Amino acid sequence: MNRSYRLLWAGQALSTAGFSGSMIAFPLLVLAITGSPAVSGFVLGVDAAAQLLAGLPAGALVDRWNRKIVMLCCEAAQGIVVASLVVALVLGDATVPHMIFVAATMGVCRALFLPAENAAVAQIVTQEQLSTAVAMNSARGALGQLTGTAAGGFLYAIGRAVPFAVEVLTHLISFVALLFVKVPHRRPEKVESSDLAKEMVEGLRFVWRQRHVRATVACAVSLNFFFSAYYVVLVVLAKERDVPSGEIGIMAAMLGVGGLLGALLAPTLQKVISPFLSIAGVFWVLTVLTPLAVFIDNGYLLGLLFAGMALLPPTANTTIATSQLLLTPERLHGRMTSVMAVISGVSAAAGPALGGVLVQQFGGSDAILLCAAGIAVVTVVVTVSPTMRAFPVTDRVKEPTP
C-alpha cells in the first residue's frame, strides 16, 4: 500500500480507539452526573440517531465536496466538541444539554466521514489493491474498537475527563496525518440545482437498480437484524444462567477478536474462495453455530462460539464492499456508502428491540432458537438465489456507463 493509505489507516486506527474508549465512558459519565439510567441511554442514543438522520444527506454532500476537506473538517469538529466537554468537566460545569450537543455532533461527523473516506480510499489505492484496503479497514475498525473498549473503563477510573482528553489527542493526531494524505484531484459533480433531495434519491435509485447490490443489501440486512436480536438474547440468557459478569465481558470481546482475525485473513481467503461461497459461507456457519448456545452455560465457551461466528464475515464484507465500490460510478461513491450505512444502522437498531421482545415472550432458549430459525430462512434464500450465485468476481466488475 502507498504512503497516503498507510497514513489514513494509522490515523483512523487511533481515532477509532479514542472514540470507542469515550463511548464506554460516556454513559458512565452521564449516569454519574444525573443519576438517571434513562438519561444516560438517551444521550448515547442521540449519537446513533444523529448518524442515521444525517446519513443520506451526508452522502450527497460528500459527492459535491472535496473528500479530503470533509475528513479534515470532521476530525477537527470532533476534536473541538470533545475538548469542550473536557474543559467543562475540569471546571465542573458539564450539563446534559452540552453532552447531547457533543453526542449529536459526533454522530453527524461520522455520517460524513464514512462515505468521504470510502470514496477517498477508492481514489488512493489501485483497483488491484482495493479489496486488501477494504479488508485492512475492517481490521482497523475491529482493532480500534477492541483497544478503545478495553482502555475506556480504565481511563475513566483515573478521572472522568481522562478518556475524553485521550480522544481529543487521537483526533488531533489523525487530523495531522490527514494533512499528508494525497487524494487525487477529482472534478466535482456539476450541480444543476440545489435540490439535495433529488441527489439523495439518485443514490437510492442507483442502489435499487443494481441487482447484485440490491440482493446483498436485502440478505445482509436480514442477517444483521436477526443476529443483533440473537446477541441481546444471548447476553440475557447468560445472566439468567448466572454466568459471571467478567465472563460475559470476555464473551463479548471474543466477537471482536474473531472479527479482527477474520479481517486479517480476508485478503487471503478472498483469493481462494469464490464470491458466492464467501458470502453464503457466513450464513451457513451462523445457521449451524447459533443454536448451540442453547446448550452452553459457560462464558468462555460462548466467547469461542462468538469468535467462530465472526471469522468469515470480514471476507464476505470485503467481497461485497469491493464489488460495490467498483460497480458504483465515482461521482456516486458517497451516496452509495451512505445508503448502505443507513440501511445497516436501521437494521442494527431494530434487532436488539426484537431480541428483548423475544426474551420477554418466550424465554432465553426459545428466543435463541427463533433467531436461529430466522437466520436459517435467510440462508436458504441466499443459497438458492440466482443473483447471489452469479455474484461477480471483483476483478471482473466494471463501472457502469452513467
Whole-angstrom CA distances from 399 to 12, 22, 391 are 28, 40, 15
Whole-angstrom CA distances from 318 to 67, 70, 111, 263 are 22, 24, 20, 9
What is the extent of the structural domain holding 55? 3-127+146-180
Q: Taking the CA of residue 143 as centre, how many other CA atoms within 13 Å lie in the half-sphere pointing to its CB? A: 17
Cβ contact 343:67 at 8 Å: no
The whole-model pTM stands at 0.79
Same domain, yes or no: 208 and 173: no
Structurally, the chain folds into a number of domains equal to 2
Task: Identify the band that residue 72 occupies on the pLDDT scale cut at 50, 70 and 90.
Answer: very high
Same domain, yes or no: 105 and 227: no
Mean pLDDT of 251-265: 83
What is the structure's pLDDT at 81? 96
What is the structure's pLDDT at 288? 94
Cα(345)–Cα(343) distance, rounded to whole angstroms? Answer: 5
Residue 134 in domain: no
Cell 454532500 locates to 61
pLDDT tens-digit profile of 198-219?
Answer: 888 888 888 888 888 888 888 8
Return the higher-pLDDT residue of 237 and 292.
Answer: 292
CATH number at residue 109: 1.20.1250.20
Closest to 111 measured CA to CA, from 160, 77, 150, 159: 77
Residue 173 in domain: yes
The mean of the pLDDT values for the chain is 85
Residue 189 in domain: no
Residues with Cβ within 8 Å of residue 394, at least 6 apart in sequence: 130, 131, 270, 275, 319, 322, 323, 326
Same domain, yes or no: 368 and 325: yes
Residue 75 in domain: yes
Cell 421482545 locates to 357
Cβ contact 115:59 at 8 Å: yes
| Per-residue pLDDT at 397 exceeds 50 | no
Same domain, yes or no: 226 and 161: no
Q: Residue 97, Cβ neighbours under 10 Å: how many? A: 7
Q: Taking the CA of residue 292 as centre, how many other CA atoms within 13 Å lie in the half-sphere pointing to its CB? A: 15
| Per-residue pLDDT at 44 exceeds 80 | no
Same domain, yes or no: 69 and 211: no
Same domain, yes or no: 88 and 217: no
- Long-range CB pairs of 85-94 (<8 Å, 24+ gap) are 85/161, 85/164, 86/161, 86/164, 86/165, 86/168, 89/29, 89/160, 89/161, 89/164, 90/161, 94/29, 94/33
Residue 192 in domain: no
What is the structure's pLDDT at 306? 87
Same domain, yes or no: 245 and 170: no
Q: Which triple of cell numbers denotes residue 37?
A: 439510567
What is the structure's pLDDT at 219? 82
pLDDT tens-digit profile of 87-137?
Answer: 999 999 889 999 999 999 999 999 999 999 988 998 898 888 888 888 888
Same domain, yes or no: 84 and 168: yes
| Per-residue pLDDT at 400 exceeds 50 | no
Whole-angstrom CA distances from 265 to 38, 143, 163, 318 are 41, 14, 31, 11
pLDDT tens-digit profile of 362-376?
Answer: 877 898 999 999 999
Q: Which triple of cell numbers denotes residue 124?
A: 488512493
Alpha carbon distance, N-terminus to C-terminus of the chain? 30
Mean pLDDT of 311-324: 85
Residues with Cβ within 8 Å of residue 33, at least 6 apart in sequence: 94, 96
- Long-range CB pairs of 156-160 (<8 Å, 24+ gap) are 156/24, 156/25, 156/28, 156/29, 160/25, 160/29, 160/32, 160/89
Residue 300 in domain: yes
What is the structure's pLDDT at 177? 95
Highest mean pLDDT among 43-57, 70-84, 347-361: 70-84
Whole-angstrom CA distances from 274 to 87, 269, 320 are 53, 9, 12
Same domain, yes or no: 205 and 108: no
Portion of the chain with pLDDT greater than 70, in percent = 94
Opening angle at CA 128, ends 126 and 133, nearest 5:
75
Cβ contact 381:226 at 8 Å: no
Q: Which triple of cell numbers denotes residue 147?
A: 483497544
pLDDT tens-digit profile of 132-174?
Answer: 888 888 888 888 877 877 788 788 888 889 999 999 999 999 9
| Per-residue pLDDT at 74 exceeds 70 | yes
What is the structure's pLDDT at 174? 95
Same domain, yes or no: 345 and 206: yes
Same domain, yes or no: 159 and 278: no
Task: Identify the band that residue 187 occupies on the pLDDT scale cut at 50, 70 and 90.
Answer: low
Residue 106 in domain: yes
Same domain, yes or no: 264 and 337: yes
Closest to 327 measured CA to CA, from 68, 189, 122: 122
